[in-house]
Amino acid sequence: MVSAGHNLRALRDQLGLTMRDVENASQRIADKHRNEEFAIPPSRLSDIETKGITPSIYRLYSLAIIYRRDPRDLLALYGIDYSQSASDLSLSTPPRSHVSTAFETVTSLQIPAKLDPSFDLRKTSNLGRMVEKWGVVPMAYLNQLAHQDYTYGYVGSEDFTMYPLLPPGTFVQVDESRNRVVEGVWRSEYERPIYFVETREGHVCCWCALNRDSIILQPHPLSPAPLRVLKHPQDAEVLGQVVGMAMRLGEWHHLDAVPEPRERTALN
């Protein structure tokens, strides 16, 4: 197997750069950012190329700039495939709900490139078995399909506000253009808009209602979370409406981990 250092040496040779050229260029980068960590002496570059020494994040940045490569390409040489970051998100479950920007730097993704001709959208199916071929698509090609601005959120592992509609561990898609609370009569809880709200304590998904200069953050009736009334928009800002979600079923907690519902007091 070709080492990362050998590949870095190949990149340098392709550009016709000497070790002294790399040193001089990295020193200019260090001078600009006023940080000597960006500088790469020839002896250190030789260690990186021939002795398996892993460069620091500063020197990796310098090499990416000097070799005209995306830093993620150099990370891949050391076995760090940044395109896997989306699938790795499930390995960490922060307790608090928050805005997720993890997908903003993903440049490509795998999508179904060919489906089984017998696939019927009207029936519940095992999609994995219906996909005949997966393909990697650059995200730039998908930009033309985006007609709205979306924010992506994650419901914290200790946030039961909209349980059981949005269990802890759920990823939500938020339409930022729908940031005004809509009043109305809803035939079911599934029709009532769920909003993604930022408060001074953090973020929360909930139903909302306005009362003069206050906003009522209402949890699901089966949730143990309390109803809250906050000043609007000083203490609570509606970022948008939840329009999509993705979650795993039966994996985020044991049934006995669900807190008991609290008694509610009537709202005057």
Q: What is the pLDDT of residues 14-52, one digit of tens each?
A: 999 999 999 999 999 999 999 999 999 999 999 999 999
pLDDT range class, residue 146, cuts 50, 70, 90? low
Pairing of strands 131-138, 98-100: unpaired
Q: Are residues 249 and 159 in the same domain?
A: yes
In a domain, 214, yes or no: yes
The residue among 231, 216, 192, 204 whose CA lies nearest residue 268 is 216
Residues 251 and 162 occupy one common structural domain: yes
Which of 77, 106, 133 is the last residue before a domain boundary?
77
Assess whether pLDDT exceeds 70 at residue 125: no
Indicate whether 268 pLDDT > 50: no
Nearest to 177 by CA among 162, 195, 203: 195
Q: Which of 31, 62, 77 is the last residue of a domain?
A: 77
Structural domain contains residue 200: yes
| pLDDT at position 5 over 90 | yes
Rg (alpha carbons) of the chain, rounded to whole number: 25
Within a domain: residue 94? no
Amino acid type, 187: R
The DSSP symbol for 49 reads H
Q: Which pTM does this prediction carry?
A: 0.62
* CATH classification at residue 25: 1.10.260.40
The mean pLDDT value for 59-81 works out to 94
- Segments forming the whole domain that contains residue 202: 150-257
**pLDDT of the residue at 134:** 63
**Residue at a domain's end among 26, 60, 77:** 77
* 64 phi/psi in degrees, rounded to 5: -65, -40
pLDDT at residue 168 tops 80: yes
Residue 258 is predicted with a pLDDT of 54
Choose the weakest-confidence range: 63-72, 166-175, 224-233.
166-175
- Average pLDDT for 242-257: 69
| Number of domains comprising the chain | 2
Predicted confidence band of residue 254 (pLDDT cuts 50, 70, 90): very low
State the Cα–Cα distance between residues 18 and 25, nearest whole angstrom: 11
Confidence at residue 119, expressed as pLDDT on a 0 to 100 scale: 59
Residue 6 has pLDDT above 80, yes or no: yes
pLDDT of residue 103: 67
| pLDDT confidence bin for 267, thresholds 50/70/90 | very low
52 to 67, 70, 77, 128, 200: CA distances (angstroms): 19, 21, 12, 40, 47
- In this predicted structure, what is the pLDDT of residue 20? 97
